[in-house]
Amino acid sequence: MTLLLGRHEFPDDATLMMAIVNRTPDSFYDRGATWAEDQAFDRVGLVVEQGAEIVDIGGIKAAPGVEVDAAEEIRRVASFVARVRSAYPSLVISVDTWRAEVARVVCAEGADVLNDAWGGADPGLPEVAAQAGAALVCTHTGGVVPRTRPHRIEYADLMASVLADTVAYADRAVAAGVDRRSVLIDPAHDFGKNTHHSLEVTRRLGEMVATGWPVLVSLSNKDFVGETLDLPVGERLTGTLAATAVAALHGARVYRVHEVVETRQVVDMVNTIAGRRPPARAVRGLA
């Protein structure tokens, strides 16, 4: 299905890199490396140069921590979205927020995508996306409260829950007026899930793709990779890329990443092996 992300349209065979830009002082991965606005802006320039089609700007880390209210989240991201929009008019700008209040402000500043990592915790988000002509990412979190870690969470049938919740959220978004081409679904690895759950949704990702909704995955340096390989944050790239290869083979469309170049190479290689993409060049044995 053709993707419509705000003002930007992508053909149905396009796979997209969504580069993470954290406007937080306490991110689990970069430890505040892009907390300062100029450093965050430099990060945008770098990932654009590396070929990212989307940047995903977030003002609150997902894990528990210092309380960040809506006003502070807006202060962290809204003017930065406006700066990025002005400098990169053809770049897709996503904002990682679950709050309709924040979403309304960032869309007015030029955001194209609302990445709701918390599965519809604020029921007003689809309406904001519809009014702004923005795309919406619909995730599965098992109903956990935003910024809480799962504790002994159980599912009678994990994939049934993932499919039911994401598809229902996607349908609500369309009913609220969001263009069907502007809705993506995301299993939300680690969110409302233990490591066994995240591994299962990875190997069964094809079931999400089969719904017809474009699938976004956020695998980069997640805890399920670290626990699987017993590796700390900062040493999970190889495991992340292995999970990425599986997601690509199943047909994921958008990849939320820290490492743009490495992820693009893995996704392109897998899609070429799968017959969905031609080699960039093929002269061996022909010249």
Q: CA-CA distances (angstroms) from residue 175 to 72, 126, 165? A: 31, 9, 15
Q: Which of 23, 99, 256, 264 is catalytic?
A: 256
Helix 260-273 crosses helix 237-250 at what angle (to 10 degrees)?
Answer: 40
Helix 125-132 crosses helix 158-176 at what angle (to 10 degrees)?
Answer: 50
Rg (CA), the chain: 18
pTM of the entire predicted model: 0.96
Q: CA-CA distances (angstroms) from residue 77 to 23, 56, 96? A: 7, 11, 10
pLDDT given at position 32: 83
pLDDT given at position 34: 92
**Residue 149 annotated to the active site:** no
Residue 26 structure tokens: 């306490």
Pairing of strands 8-10, 3-5: antiparallel
Say if residues 185 and 216 touch (Cβ distance below 8 Å). yes
Mean pLDDT of the chain, nearest integer: 96
**Residue 193 annotated to the active site:** no
Taking every pair of Cα atoms in the chain, the longest distance, rounded to a whole number of angstroms, is 62
Residues 3-273: name the CATH superfamily.
Dihydropteroate synthase-like (3.20.20.20)
Going residue by residue through the chain, which has 287 residues, state the pLDDT in tens, using 9 for 90 and above.
Answer: 799 999 999 999 999 999 999 999 988 777 788 999 999 999 999 999 999 999 999 999 988 888 999 999 999 999 999 999 999 999 999 999 999 999 999 999 999 999 999 999 999 999 999 999 999 999 999 999 999 988 899 999 999 999 999 999 999 999 999 999 999 999 999 999 999 999 999 999 999 999 999 999 999 999 999 999 999 999 999 999 999 999 999 999 999 999 999 999 999 999 999 999 999 999 999 97
pLDDT given at position 171: 98
Q: Which of 222, 236, 253, 264 is catalytic?
A: 222
In angstroms, the CA 215 to CA 248 distance is 10
pLDDT given at position 276: 96
| Domains in the chain: boundaries | 3-273
Residue 45 structure tokens: 């320039």
